[in-house]
A = this chain, B = another copy of it.
Amino acid sequence: MGLRDEFGTIARYFAPLSAGAPGAFGLTNDAAVIPPDGEQGLVTTIDALVEGVHFLPDDPADLVARKLLRTNLSDLAAMGAKPESYLLTMALDKARDESWIASFAAGLAADQAQYAVVLLGGDTVSTPGPMTLSLAAFGRVPGQTVLERGTAKPGDSIYVSGTIGDGALGLLVRQSRLTGLAERDRAFLELRYRLPEPRTTLGPALLGLATACLDVSDGLVADLGHIAENSGLGVELRSDAIPLSEAAQTVLGDDPDLLPLLLTGGDDYELAFTLAPEDAGALEALARETGTAVTCIGRTVEAPGVVVLDRDARPLALAGSGWTHF
């Protein structure tokens, strides 16, 4: 309610995105039906993005849409859930014209195809302020078993998927605060910031193997701090074990002082998880099967907190353990 020609916009751009979900009723009803799927549990999460806080006003609409969806799919993956559907709210300012909405919907359509998810419903309203978006995503797990962040055991190995720090560097690139990069590295890092790749295959495969799991959105150190605190233990990382992309290695070669940023910056959307050391072989097999790189970066310890050791096993001083949005 409230948006000019809300019904026309919904019918034209959003109703087609609900085509695969009979329970969405073509977005014509007050609500949507999610049918039961045997004994499978439904997992749900919600995130909000604010223009100027979580994305920039001139970010392409299709990438904003895809990042909004993907950050939620990353939350589902962190719980071991296979994504299925989503709800969307958009508070749009008057500057958003139909072409912006068309591009936004096209971004959603692309990711719906890539991740096999479908739009169930939503709400579009107008706002005098920055555009504000929220998305609630739904996924399935067999039974009620999910991956949690507070269930790591002492002596577990700590792993991350993919590479860490690209999102933080991509944001610097985007803000023109990191210049002089080769075009290939610049494009790679910016894309990693704008278009995270949620680990939707790895996450569900970790059910029954990982002892704890979350997605790295607030920064590796802060997020491992969540695992530590919620599990009642500590974590010890080896900085030289943390997997970096070629682009990040190049940047770090030029300016080694950026290491703390890589470890504490956000927007990685990789999975960080723990498992018993004896399950390392099973994990490696699974990583091959799912085509996802995983790297052991440390272990859980009894002393609380997060310690990062440098290559000489001396604790690194980290200015901040969390992430402050621009």
Show the binding face of A for B, using Cβ within 8 Å.
1-2, 23, 25, 28-50, 52-54, 74-76, 78-79, 81, 87-91, 120-123, 125-130, 132, 134, 136, 139, 141, 144, 146, 148-150, 214-215, 217-218, 226, 230, 266, 323, 325
Q: Sorted from nearest, which 6 A-B pairs have the closest CB atoms?
A: A129-B129, A31-B45, A48-B89, A134-B134, A30-B75, A132-B132
Q: Which of B28, B50, B87, B150 contacts A127 (CB 8 A)?
A: B50
Does B42 contact A266, Cβ atoms closer than 8 Å?
no
- Extra contacts, 9 of them, besides A35-B41, A50-B132, A123-B134 (Cβ < 8 A), are A30-B74, A31-B44, A36-B39, A44-B87, A44-B120, A53-B125, A53-B127, A127-B130, A129-B130
Residue of A76, A144, A215, A217 with highest tally of chain B CB at under 10 A: A144
Residues of chain B within 8 A (CB-CB) of A30 are: 45, 74-76, 78-79, 149, 214-215
Q: How far is the CB of A100 from chain B (nearest CB, A)?
A: 18
Q: Is the CB of A44 within 8 A of B53?
A: no
Contact call B146/A33, Cβ cutoff below 8 A: yes
- Report Cα–Cα, A147/B49, bound state, in Å: 32
Chain B residues, Cβ within 8 Å of A230: 28
Q: A29-B148, A34-B43, A42-B34 are in contact. Are A48 and B125 (CB under 8 A)?
A: yes
**Are B128 and A52 within 8 A (Cβ)?**
yes
- In Å, the complex CA distance between A132 and B148 comes to 29
A28 surroundings in chain B (CB, below 8 A): 148-150, 226, 230
Q: Which B residues lie within 8 Å of A45 (CB)?
A: 30-32, 87, 121
**Which residue of B has the minimal Cβ distance to A76?**
B31
Write the nearest CB–CB distance from A103 to chain B, whole angstroms: 21
Distance in Å from the Cβ of A105 to the closest Cβ of chain B? Answer: 17
Provide the residues of chain B in CB contact with A29, threshold 8 Å: 78-79, 146, 148-150, 214
Point out which of A23, A29, A38 has the most chain B C-beta atoms below 10 A from its C-beta: A29
Q: Nearest residue in B to A146 (C-beta to C-beta)? A: B33
What are 21 A-B contacts with C-beta separation under 8 Å? A1-B266, A1-B323, A2-B325, A28-B150, A30-B74, A30-B78, A31-B44, A31-B45, A31-B75, A31-B146, A32-B44, A33-B141, A35-B42, A36-B37, A36-B41, A36-B42, A46-B121, A47-B89, A50-B129, A123-B134, A136-B136
